[in-house]
Amino acid sequence: MNQIVKITIDGVECMATKGQYITDAAKENGIYIPTLCNYEGVKPRGSCRICTVKVNGRLMTACTTPVSENMEIENNADEIQELREAIIELLFIEGNHFCPACEKSGSCELQALAYRFHMMVPRFPYSFPQQEIDATNPKLVKDQNRCILCKRCIRAIKDEKGRSVFAYKRRSRHVEISIDPKIGKSLSDEMAQQAMDVCPVGALLVRERGFVVPIGERKYDNEPIGSDIEKLKE
């Protein structure tokens, strides 16, 4: 039987299921912790660090840390908000994100987080990396310029034999996402769309489709990102 535990988030007492990840427990209690590499239904990896919180005084990733009795979590401390702002800015400067020219604009989680955190211009210099666009797949275009290396595509998109369609290639700062040439060739329209939806940014786009949802009507065009948007409206 599930054991219920008591935790506090920013001093507010919350109930959670023992072993549940902090992000999920917070969401169930109406508290938003931003996430990027995390994807519902897929094992968390804790790679982007945007969900960092303080747990009993220590910085931890909320998406990979299970709750336990009397855990004290800080989500809104200035130090944490500043860390998250810096992560968002770093993600912008490490890639080439030209939002107005991106098909994912308005439904991009990185762009929506930048708005939510009121980012205007990153404080760090742009690195303008040389990145390539791979348009060899019959269903998908991969634009490495926008990839934030969250691995959501690798972890979530598998073929009927359970093999990953996407993989990392190269190392360190040259690392990039590749589409398996064999498995990728037999990608169905449905899987291509899933991959585009799983990608938090505009790095994976279904070929020959654009503006299916007009600008102005996309997911974050009229509402900020976050599971607490109803509260924000109050």
Please report how close the Cβ of residue 30 comes to ligand FES at its closest, in angstroms.
19
Query: What is the spatial distance between Cα 147 and Cα 134, in angstroms, rounded to a whole number?
Result: 12
- Angle, helix 78-94 to helix 109-116, in steps of 10 degrees: 140
Residues 213/207, Cβ–Cβ less than 8 Å = no
150 touching ligand SF4, by CB under 6 A: yes
Comparison of 33 and 187: residue with beta carbon closer to ligand FES: 33
Q: Which of residues 166-195 bind ligand SF4 (CB under 6 A)?
A: 177
Draw the binding track, 200-229, toward ligand SF4 (x: CB under 6 A; -: no contact).
Answer: xx-xx-------------------------
Please report how close the Cβ of residue 23 comes to ligand FES at its closest, in angstroms.
7
Residues 148, 183, 192, 205: which binds ligand SF4 (CB under 6 A)?
A: 148
Comparison of 6 and 209: residue with beta carbon closer to ligand SF4: 209
36 binds, among ligand SF4, ligand FES, none (CB under 5 to 8 A by kind): ligand FES
Q: What are phi and psi of 44, to 5 degrees?
A: -70, 155
Comparison of 20 and 137: residue with beta carbon closer to ligand FES: 20
- Per residue in 138-177, is it b (16+ CB within 10 Å) or e — as a string? ebbbbbbbbbbbbbbbbbbbebeeeeebbeeeeeeeeebb
Comparison of 116 and 151: residue with beta carbon closer to ligand SF4: 151
DSSP characters for 108-165? -HHHHHHHHTT--S-SSPP------EE--SSSEEEEGGG-----HHHHH-B-TTS-BS
Choose the binding region for ligand SF4 from 92-100, 132-140, 151-159, 209-217 (rule: CB under 6 A): 151-159
Q: How many residues make contact with ligand SF4 (CB under 6 A)?
A: 14
- Per residue in 1-33, is it b (16+ CB within 10 Å) or e — as a string? eeeebebebbeeebebeeebbbbbbbbeeebbb
Please report how close the Cβ of residue 162 comes to ligand SF4 at its closest, in angstroms.
18
Comparison of 26 and 148: residue with beta carbon closer to ligand SF4: 148
108 touching ligand SF4, by CB under 6 A: no
